[in-house]
Structure 1
Amino acid sequence: MRHMQLQRFAGERTERATPRRREDARKEGRVARSPELTSAIALAALLIALRVVGPMVWGQWENIFQLDFSTPPPNVWTTNTVAQLLVMQMMSALKALAPIVGTGLIIGVAVAVMQVRPMFTMRQLVPDFSRIVPTTGLQRLFSSSSLFELGKSLAKLAIVGVLSYSSVSRMAAEIRGYGDTDVTSVPGVVGSLVFQLGIRMTIAMVLLAALDFMYQRYAFEKSLRMTKQEVKDEWKDAEGNPQIKSTIRKRARQMAMRRMMQAVPKADVVVTNPTHFAIALRYDGTTMTAPEVVAKGADSLAQRMKIIAAESGVPMVENKPLAQSLYRMVDIGEQVPAELYQAVAEVLAYVYRMRAGRRR
């Protein structure tokens, strides 16, 4: 019985998705995104743009109307005359609406890209014949995501209906109060009320879109979950992948290089060739039986070590034979061999005398 329970538990998707699983899903075009969030923020951008450049757009429309009514009609109406008039009107309208529409379009595209990051895939264009299977379609119809989408649509419909009814009722009451005022003030009042309705709807849509975005992230993470066996199989596959091994070796070399460079400021002396080799030595008589090589490098790496040593105040001693011997015979972390004791001791003694002279 216990064995059967363990087998059942091992088949459950309880593990978080690995980076490889996420990358594969991204290549297939599967990402967490909320179209509702894109639409809501684009609508908010439209309202802001309308508020900022609305008076300018209205002024352009007034100029268009004045031009239409002040320009005498042509003596003869032809197809070309009507086409030119329509093109002129369309261009004027597009020019007036371009700031508002452009703002909404740019913000909408930016929000969509921010959700999924820049990506391009052709996987979504490949036909999926499993979608036309009746049983699969029924499963999708009654799935949790479909029910959530239905609830979201009903919520949007209810929000729009309630806000529209309350705003229209308020609008009708305020318009009735302007019965004795000038007719020219009514469009401004109506426009202000409509704009307030747009703000209320936008706030509601943004809140609903935020909930939708959180649900989409949750559903996406849940769909990527893996079983314990899948994680183990992926790890075994990754261990045998030459590219993965190469990446691991490269990172190990980088980490070793960083550790070596961090050890240079702690060295007692850097022995140089002077241009081709640099070897950093450290000696502590209380814990070491012989000096230890904490860093070494050739050519460009040696130059970097010399720069770090100069910045850290580590003495540098030029000794070509000793530098060549240390670079060839001793690895990083190893102690100096006995045959080099005398040469290294002379270098360290010189450094100690130099430090003592500086202190005096």
Structure 2
Amino acid sequence: MVWLKLDLQYFAADEKTEKATPKKRQDTRKKGQVPKSQDVNTGFLLLLVFGALFILGPYMEGTLTGMYKVAFNEYIHRELTEEQTHSMFVEMTMEISKIMAPIMGVAIVAGIASNLLQVGIMFTGEPLKLDLKKLDPIKGAKRIFSARALVELMKSLLKISLVGVITFSIIWINKDQMMMMSQKSVEGALAFFGTITILMGVDSALALLLLSVLDYTYQKYDHEKNIRMSKKDIKDEHKNIEGDPQIKAKIKEKQRQMSASRMMSEVPEADVVITNPTHYAIAIKYEETKSDAPFVVAMGVDFLALKIKEVAQSHHVTIVENRSLARALYQHSEVDQPIDEQFYKAVAEVLAYVYQLEKKI
């Protein structure tokens, strides 16, 4: 039963039930793994492009009409030579570029804006790195027949059906007018079909944007699910960030030992050691060239205090018992730092006593 309980605890610790930590989110973002819906890109692209077509329609019509006029009024009378053909090709390419450049510019802006809206500014080369695991046929088959692939299939069918219904409905509503276009002028027919095309495009784009909200919600949910962490993962991450507690404890212990060793080497140079007498020991030194006030060269409690007193006795450093002063100095002083101003008078009296005792004055 004990082993069974331990196994259950182990599996529970490995179960990914916890939300991702900020560090895990940052790491996945660096790898290019962010919630993102391609439908947002498609919807924005279609909406802005068809909006640009609606606004730039007259300009495009004028440019195309001018191309036709030049072609049938000028180019048709030119001699068919290499130079003339090259000249006509360059001129036509420039005119077509004038038409296509604004549309391409709008498409680029739409692509950048839709990505910034979803993931913000992000630069990473991780998705471009060669990963042989992606060529694994077994994993590839699992992806094809996974729940995610089924969701993508259903989503694609829904988009195709929705766009098909929208375009068919618009055509069906305007079918009578379409039948009468043979009685209209060429310009009138082009204007009508252009309007119908833009209407179908804008309506389809709005429908895709509506679907993209649902798709982005699903993508975000799926992303959060994929980056979930187990309690063990969180603990390991904390260890990596903060360091293993056992190692940190050993380092601190080593630092304490080094600090204690250094302090012990300074005790023989002290002028006096003020004690509690058993729990506290503070070694004080006064040196005019180093500090205007007496400073602490070593201090400690319990075992360390005992060691300080032993070193002081072995080097004939005077030990003075002052319970309240020793405790106060320990609480308000730092090693290698001058004592606080509030202790000047009390320490001066102790030093004066020591100097008299040692006949230094």
Query: Does the alignment reach a TM-score above 0.5?
Result: yes
**SS in structure 2 at match of 1:135:** helix
**Corresponding residue number in structure 2 for 1:337:** 342
Return the alpha-carbon distance in structure 2 between the equivalents of residues 210 and 177 of structure 1. 40
What letter matches 2:136 in structure 1?
V
Question: Do the aligned partners of residues 72 and 40 (structure 1) sit closer, same or farther apart at CA in structure 2, a change above 3 Å counting?
Answer: closer
| Residue 19 (structure 1) aligned with residue 22 (structure 2) | yes
Contact 2:35 2:223 in 1 (8 A): yes
Contact 1:41 1:108 in 2 (8 A): yes
Structure 2 residue runs of 5 or longer lacking an equivalent are: 249-336, 346-361
**Corresponding residue number in structure 2 for 1:71:** 74
**Corresponding residue number in structure 2 for 1:37:** 40
**Corresponding residue number in structure 1 for 2:96:** 93
TM-score of the pair, normalised by structure 2: 0.63
Contact 2:75 2:88 in 1 (8 A): no
Return the alpha-carbon distance in structure 1 between the equivalents of residues 50 and 44 of structure 2. 10
Q: For 1:151-182, what per-residue CA distance to the aligned partner results, in whole angstroms no more than 9, with x for missing partners?
A: 11111111122222222222322222556555
Contact 1:171 1:190 in 2 (8 A): no
Structure 1 residue runs of 5 or longer lacking an equivalent are: 246-326, 331-335, 341-360
**Corresponding residue number in structure 2 for 1:60:** 63
Cα shift at 1:204: 1.0
Return the alpha-carbon distance in structure 1 between the equivalents of residues 213 and 174 of structure 2. 29
Return the alpha-carbon distance in structure 1 between the equivalents of residues 28 and 183 of structure 2. 65
| Residue 9 (structure 1) aligned with residue 12 (structure 2) | yes
Return the alpha-carbon distance in structure 2 between the equivalents of residues 180 and 123 of structure 1. 59
Matches within 5 A, 1:136-151: 136-151=139-154
Cα shift at 1:232: 0.7
Could you tell me which of 186, 192, 196 is aligned with 2:195?
192
What is the root-mean-square deviation in Å for CA atoms of aligned residues? Answer: 2.6
**Corresponding residue number in structure 2 for 1:286:** none
Return the alpha-carbon distance in structure 1 between the equivalents of residues 99 and 186 of structure 2. 25
Question: Do the aligned partners of residues 182 and 141 (structure 1) sit closer, same or farther apart at CA in structure 2, a change above 3 Å counting?
Answer: closer
Cα shift at 1:184: 4.1
Question: Do the aligned partners of residues 63 and 329 (structure 1) sit closer, same or farther apart at CA in structure 2, a change above 3 Å counting?
Answer: farther
Question: Do the aligned partners of residues 110 and 178 (structure 1) sit closer, same or farther apart at CA in structure 2, a change above 3 Å counting?
Answer: closer
Could you tell me which of 83, 86, 94 is aligned with 1:83?
86
**SS in structure 1 at match of 2:104:** helix
What letter matches 2:121 in structure 1?
P
Cα shift at 1:29: 2.1
- Aligned sequence identity (%): 31
**Corresponding residue number in structure 2 for 1:175:** 178
What letter matches 2:342 in structure 1?
P
Cα shift at 1:146: 1.1
Cα shift at 1:6: 3.1
Cα shift at 1:54: 1.9
**Corresponding residue number in structure 1 for 2:204:** 201
TM-score of the pair, normalised by structure 1: 0.63
Contact 2:32 2:126 in 1 (8 A): yes
Return the alpha-carbon distance in structure 1 between the equivalents of residues 242 and 167 of structure 2. 60
Return the alpha-carbon distance in structure 2 between the equivalents of residues 18 and 114 of structure 1. 23
Count of aligned pairs between the two proteins:
251
Cα shift at 1:234: 0.7
Q: For 1:77-133, what per-residue CA distance to the aligned partner results, in whole angstroms no more than 9, with x for missing partners?
A: 123322221221121011123222211211212222342333333322222222222
- When Rg is computed on C-alpha atoms for both structures, the one with the higher figure is 2
Contact 1:57 1:97 in 2 (8 A): no
Matches within 5 A, 1:319-338: 337=342
Cα shift at 1:12: 1.2
Q: For 1:261-303, what per-residue CA distance to the aligned partner results, in whole angstroms no more than 9, with x for missing partners?
A: xxxxxxxxxxxxxxxxxxxxxxxxxxxxxxxxxxxxxxxxxxx
Matches within 5 A, 1:97-246: 97-177=100-180, 181-182=184-185, 184-240=187-243
Return the alpha-carbon distance in structure 2 between the equivalents of residues 20 and 72 of structure 1. 66
Return the alpha-carbon distance in structure 1 between the equivalents of residues 183 and 75 of structure 2. 36
Cα shift at 1:338: 6.8
Q: For 1:313-352, what per-residue CA distance to the aligned partner results, in whole angstroms no more than 9, with x for missing partners?
A: xxxxxxxxxxxxxx9765xxxxx72769xxxxxxxxxxxx
Return the alpha-carbon distance in structure 1 between the equivalents of residues 127 and 149 of structure 2. 20
